[in-house]
Structure 1
Amino acid sequence: MTKVDAPPAYEEALHSPKYGNFPEQPQYGFAAPPPPAYSPSPGVCPGQPGRWGQASAYPQAGMREGPGFPPSGMPTIIPTLSGGVPPSNPDMDDFLSSQWEHTSVRHAFIRKVYLILAAQLSVTISIVAVFTFVEPVRVFVIRNPAIYWTSFAVYFVVYCVLVCCKEPRRRFPWNLLLLSIFTLAMSFLTGTIASYYDTKAVFIAIGITAVVCVAVTIFCFQTKVDFTSCGGLLCILAVLLMIIGMVTTIVLCFQYVPWLHMLYAALGAIVYTLFLAYNTQLLIGNRELAISPEEYVYGALSLYIDIVQMFLFILQICGAATD
């Protein structure tokens, strides 16, 4: 028997198997793919012998068909990490847009509150300056204490109305009108009290109040301490301040403890400083409690009362120190 070293040709091996006819293999749901056609491989010219002395018989790219392969003529898709994920998430876009809208509304609300507060403080400082520097006005106010009690009554009534009716009106700004009346009454009340003190004490009290207000505002915007969660403590301090005020009024009438009013004034300045921090963080809105952006009149009213009351307590301390 002779042995042929060279491999047989493709058609000869396909149509005339060397070892006879084998039984047909079972097909599992699909027909066997037809044999690929001859095509020259890259770098091999047609008619030139390949590795085995034959033309290259490798199929072209994209011509392979069968299970696990895409049909011929279709591009091959390579999976990536972003496959199946949409380029943008609508829920995330809505969340970010709502957060941005909420932040812009809150910033506009804060600007509106501080503009109203600046107008109120300007009116108050102007009236206090008139009551302090104009001597005929100062003498007239001291000789007529009815001005003080009238301004106090108007201040108390308008404050109760503003607290009970916080929602702004769209057609006519009733709240702004009431706030203007309240500011004038509070300014006359403050000017009347300031007229009993020396000019030097008034200047010192205004300077200290301005420094404390700026420091507290910056601290509230920067700190992570939540003053809005200390409402119970502030209520206790307010009740304590009211009780000490009543006791001080009774004791000073009989002149038992002359220095008790200094203690009361120091406690009042501390309590209203804490209230200023509390109301400032209510405006910011990123703490446990916050006020609605529509209640800008109530926000400005709260800050204005805190600042004016702090000024009055500091004025008592400065007046006693200068005397």
Structure 2
Amino acid sequence: MSNWNNPGYAPPSGYPNQQYPPYPGAPQSGYPQPGYPQPGYPQPGYPQPGYPPSGGYPGAPPHGYPGGDQGYPAAPQPGFVPQPTGHYGHDAPVQQGEATPFSHRTDMYGTPYEDDSVKGFDFSDQSIRRGFIRKVYAILCAQLCVTLGFISWFLFHEPTKRYVQNNPALWIISFVVMFVTLIAITCCGEVRRKSPTNFILLGLFTLAESFMLGCTASRFNSQEVILAVGITAGVCLALTLFAFQTKWDFTTCTGFLFVAIIVLMLFGIFAIIFHNRILTLVYASAGALIFSFYLVYDTQLMMGGKHKYSLSPEEYIFAALSLYLDITRIFLYILTIIGASRN
């Protein structure tokens, strides 16, 4: 039994207040040191008067924590499900049950972008949009270079020029290839988004269209073709700058452009049956004007941003194809106008 339990036991001298039992490593006599703690400790006025607050911790009952008069956020109610936050180009936070972040945009046919290929894209992001535009114009420049090469080859190389003029079956074959690839790209969304199939189809289409344009240009004078190329380049550059700068939204004119192209097709059939120089000039002028509108329309579809409709960032092949068709149609109609005016 320890000595501490003995009623007559007294601790040895040297322990503070002679009240502690002995234990291994116990402090020696003189502990604690004289003058400890320092005089005047704690400081006068500590703790501060009025602490803790008489009203309780800020926001605590009876203030109604949280959400009381202190401005704290409201307390989650039973069964509360956190709502997603963030802005995906919206004016308000995304709410629970809302569609994909890109669902506020629709394509040229009015269909919301809710497919897996565009989930996670925020086309209002400047970096995504600029990258998409650069890719489209890079593909377009490659297409136009191939086309200019074919036109120059068929225009200035006499053996090739005579060969294609004497073999119209080549033009028919190229037209079939062009038409099939055009339908495959425009009507099959999965095909034009899948690489490298989309690039292969676009390459075949560009070669076929370039061959057809070369055959057509070979029947005109070289000066007329060069003049048409220059006018087309100036018109397309001006229209592109206009589409980037204007506040008018041409993406809402889908119905008007569709009706205009139908009327142009019917007028073209009429001009073929009743072949006349005046009808040819009117038809070519109307065609150049309508496809100029189409160039602005397709450019704004590619830009997105403030416009009502826009293309998905995955549709770079379709965007390049649309712009290429617009430019080549404008070139053909201008070439027809120049040729008809010179008889």
Q: 1:202 aligns to what SS in structure 2?
A: helix
> Equivalents in 1 of 2:86, 2:169: separation in Å?
63
Percentage of identical aligned residues? 43
Q: 2:308 aligns to what SS in structure 1?
A: coil
> Equivalents in 2 of 1:160, 1:98: separation in Å?
27
Q: 1:113 aligns to what SS in structure 2?
A: helix
Correspondent of 2:168 among 127, 145, 157: 145
Aligned to 2:146: 123
CA offsets, 1:102-145, max 9 Å, x none?
A: 33222111111111100000000000000111111111111221
Matched, 1:311 2:334: no
Q: CA, structure 1 residues 317+159, in 2 after alignment: closer, same or farther (shift >3 Å)?
A: same
Q: CA, structure 1 residues 242+280, in 2 after alignment: closer, same or farther (shift >3 Å)?
A: same
Structural mapping, 1:72-83, within 5 Å: none
Q: CA, structure 1 residues 185+91, in 2 after alignment: closer, same or farther (shift >3 Å)?
A: same
Correspondent of 1:113 among 133, 136, 161: 136
Q: 2:125 aligns to what SS in structure 1?
A: helix
Aligned to 1:259: 278
Aligned to 1:272: 291
Q: 2:274 aligns to what SS in structure 1?
A: helix
Aligned to 2:209: 186
> Equivalents in 2 of 1:239, 1:98: separation in Å?
35
Q: CA, structure 1 residues 158+69, in 2 after alignment: closer, same or farther (shift >3 Å)?
A: same
> Equivalents in 2 of 1:235, 1:93: separation in Å?
35
Aligned to 1:164: 187
TM-score (norm 1): 0.69
Aligned to 1:288: 308
Aligned to 1:302: 322
> Equivalents in 1 of 2:256, 2:141: separation in Å?
29
For the Cα contact (< 8 Å) 2:174–2:212, is it kept in 1? yes
Aligned to 1:175: 198
CA offsets, 1:225-276, max 9 Å, x none?
A: 0101000000110011000000000001xxxx33110100000000111111
CA offsets, 1:57-95, max 9 Å, x none?
A: xx9899654998899xxxxxxxxxxx9699xxx946887
- The amino acid of 1:285's aligned partner reads G
Q: 1:167 aligns to what SS in structure 2?
A: helix
- The amino acid of 1:264's aligned partner reads Y
Q: Which has the higher helix share?
A: 1
Q: CA, structure 1 residues 100+84, in 2 after alignment: closer, same or farther (shift >3 Å)?
A: farther
> Equivalents in 1 of 2:125, 2:271: separation in Å?
47
Q: CA, structure 1 residues 235+217, in 2 after alignment: closer, same or farther (shift >3 Å)?
A: same
For the Cα contact (< 8 Å) 1:166–1:297, is it kept in 2? no
Structural mapping, 1:14-53, within 5 Å: none
Larger Rg: 1
Q: CA, structure 1 residues 304+95, in 2 after alignment: closer, same or farther (shift >3 Å)?
A: closer
Q: CA, structure 1 residues 258+165, in 2 after alignment: closer, same or farther (shift >3 Å)?
A: same
TM-score (norm 2): 0.65
- The amino acid of 2:316's aligned partner reads Y
Q: 1:318 aligns to what SS in structure 2?
A: helix
Q: CA, structure 1 residues 232+117, in 2 after alignment: closer, same or farther (shift >3 Å)?
A: same
Would you say how many aligned residue pairs link Structure 1 and Structure 2? 247
For the Cα contact (< 8 Å) 1:167–1:295, is it kept in 2? no
For the Cα contact (< 8 Å) 2:284–2:334, is it kept in 1? yes
How much has 1:177 moved relative to structure 2?
0.3
How much has 1:146 moved relative to structure 2?
1.5
Q: Unpaired runs of 5+ in structure 2?
A: 1-43, 57-69, 74-83, 91-119
Matched, 1:219 2:242: yes
> Equivalents in 1 of 2:123, 2:205: separation in Å?
35
For the Cα contact (< 8 Å) 2:185–2:192, is it kept in 1? no
> Equivalents in 2 of 1:119, 1:62: separation in Å?
80
RMSD over aligned CA atoms reads: 3.0
> Equivalents in 2 of 1:141, 1:98: separation in Å?
47
How much has 1:321 moved relative to structure 2?
2.5
Q: 1:294 aligns to what SS in structure 2?
A: coil
Aligned to 1:200: 223
